[in-house]
């Protein structure tokens, strides 16, 4: 940041402006300036009204944009356009694209910096660094447009499940296709969104999974509270390996979205004296000898072991 300091100290009326400017305009790049053998002329704030003179449609539509509130903010009063586009007086004279910041044409890192100058401290952005999107250069503007209007606008679209699912599905075709399997969460039907389980911005959990409202487990238990426990008699893999040890969270060809067609095979991957590697890597105990695996009665494990997610009644998870 120091290399920008001489250029922008007069302009850094507040920390907010400082960050936005430092992150933004290409014309302030000292290397580029040196290459042109002349210092760049300094732009100043031109004010939103100046922009309106040439960008009539965008300016009119802006009155309905959530960011229009910035016009009433003490730092940005009368100059909200420049909160994202940087100081615009030079551009307002030249009308040249080179003299103004277009966040959509910046590198993803710079675009994010423009937005995060204000949005950084929101709880939904916590953990960004770990998130798969920021690590893979998916900028804010990949998902949020700023000047579309009506039903087209991301401010409207991303308030509805269907709009969110369409956005996510446009890049994650495999994940979207998994919801077409016979047993699935009702995402394609619009009853749930990808964001019911994932935070599009970030998460401290792997796979951008949302945390449950109660703690550090995945958000599954927000809706499936009866599986949360704690139980007096836990089924170890539910607690230690997580729900996806046995379930395919997006969708499955198997009932109950299980990873195996046959429940007994699922159980026997861990509960047999064969050393078969389980999905979670742990091995459970061997069923007692009275389990006659040749008898059909014993093959449907969950008819007896009904409390498969944990029991308060007994170690056998029977009820």
- Pick one of 22, 201, 205, 251: the residue that binds ligand HEC (CB under 6 A): 201
Q: Which is nearer to ligand HEC, 13 or 171 (CB)?
A: 171
- Size of site (CB under 6 A) for ligand HEC: 138
Neighbours of 165 (CB within 10 A): 21
- Pick one of 64, 72, 186, 319: the residue that binds ligand HEC (CB under 6 A): 186
Shortest Cβ 316–ligand HEC spacing (Å) = 3
Question: Cβ contacts of residue 37 below 8 Å, gap of 6+?
Answer: none
Neighbours of 18 (CB within 10 A): 18
- CA dist 138 and 208 (Å) reads 14
Give the interface segment with ligand HEC, choosing from 6-14, 23-31, 32-40, 192-200 (CB under 6 A).
192-200
- Pick one of 6, 69, 276, 312: the residue that binds ligand HEC (CB under 6 A): 69
Q: Decide: is 115 part of the binding site for ligand HEC (CB under 6 A).
A: yes
Q: Decide: is 107 part of the binding site for ligand HEC (CB under 6 A).
A: no
- Pick one of 46, 153, 205, 251: the residue that binds ligand HEC (CB under 6 A): 46
Q: What is the CA radius of gyration of the chain?
A: 27
- CA dist 137 and 116 (Å) reads 14
- CA dist 103 and 140 (Å) reads 10
Largest interatomic CA distance in the chain: 89
Q: Which is nearer to ligand HEC, 27 or 133 (CB)?
A: 133
Site for ligand HEC in 84-103 (CB under 6 A): 84-85, 88, 91-92, 95-97, 100, 102-103
Q: Decide: is 22 part of the binding site for ligand HEC (CB under 6 A).
A: no
Shortest Cβ 308–ligand HEC spacing (Å) = 5
Nearest 5°: CA angle at 51, between 48 and 54? 155
Q: Decide: is 136 part of the binding site for ligand HEC (CB under 6 A).
A: yes
Tokens of 15: 């920390």
Neighbours of 66 (CB within 10 A): 8
Q: Which is nearer to ligand HEC, 3 or 256 (CB)?
A: 256
Tokens 């308030």 found at: 159
CA 116 → CA 22, 111, 210, 287, distances in Å? 12, 9, 20, 55
Q: Decide: is 17 part of the binding site for ligand HEC (CB under 6 A).
A: no
Neighbours of 233 (CB within 10 A): 15
- CA dist 168 and 137 (Å) reads 15
Q: Which is nearer to ligand HEC, 11 or 175 (CB)?
A: 175
- Pick one of 28, 165, 205, 251: the residue that binds ligand HEC (CB under 6 A): 165
Q: Decide: is 236 part of the binding site for ligand HEC (CB under 6 A).
A: yes
Q: Which is nearer to ligand HEC, 29 or 145 (CB)?
A: 145
Q: Decide: is 10 part of the binding site for ligand HEC (CB under 6 A).
A: no
Question: Cβ contacts of residue 151 below 8 Å, gap of 6+?
Answer: 157
- CA dist 262 and 279 (Å) reads 15
Shortest Cβ 5–ligand HEC spacing (Å) = 21
Q: Decide: is 302 part of the binding site for ligand HEC (CB under 6 A).
A: yes
Site for ligand HEC in 254-293 (CB under 6 A): 255-258, 263-264, 266-271, 278-280, 282, 284-285, 287-288, 291
Q: Decide: is 192 part of the binding site for ligand HEC (CB under 6 A).
A: yes
């Amino acid at each position: 940041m120091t290399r920008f300091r001489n250029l922008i100290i007069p302009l850094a009326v507040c920390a907010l402006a400082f960050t936005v400017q430092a992150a933004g305009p290409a014309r302030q790049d000292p290397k580029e300036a040196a290459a042109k053998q002349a210092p760049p002329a300094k732009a100043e704030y031109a004010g939103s009204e100046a922009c309106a003179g040439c960008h009539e449609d965008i300016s009119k539509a802006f009155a309905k944009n959530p960011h229009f509130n910035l016009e009433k903010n003490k730092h940005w009063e009368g100059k909200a356009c420049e909160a994202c586009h940087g100081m615009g007086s030079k551009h307002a004279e030249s009308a040249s694209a080179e003299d103004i910041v277009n966040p959509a044409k910046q590198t993803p890192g710079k675009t994010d910096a423009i937005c995060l100058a204000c949005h950084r401290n929101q709880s939904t952005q916590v953990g960004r660094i770990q998130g798969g999107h920021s690590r893979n250069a998916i900028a804010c503007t990949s998902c949020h447009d700023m000047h579309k209007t009506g039903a087209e606008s991301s401010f409207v679209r991303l308030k509805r499940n269907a709009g969110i699912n369409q956005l996510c599905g446009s890049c994650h075709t495999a994940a979207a296709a998994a919801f077409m399997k016979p047993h699935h969460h009702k995402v394609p039907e619009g009853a749930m969104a990808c964001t019911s389980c994932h935070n599009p911005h970030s998460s401290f959990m792997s796979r951008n999974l949302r945390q449950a409202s109660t703690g550090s487990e995945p958000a599954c238990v927000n809706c499936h509270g009866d599986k949360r426990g704690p139980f007096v008699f836990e089924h170890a893999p539910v607690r230690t390996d997580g729900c996806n040890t046995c379930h395919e969270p997006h969708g499955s060809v198997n009932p109950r979205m299980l990873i195996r067609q046959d429940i007994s095979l699922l159980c026997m991957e861990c509960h047999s004296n064969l050393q078969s590697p389980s999905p979670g890597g742990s091995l459970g105990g061997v069923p007692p000898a009275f389990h006659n695996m040749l008898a059909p009665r014993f093959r449907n494990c969950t008819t007896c072991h009904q409390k498969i997610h944990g029991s308060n009644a007994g170690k056998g998870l029977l009820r």
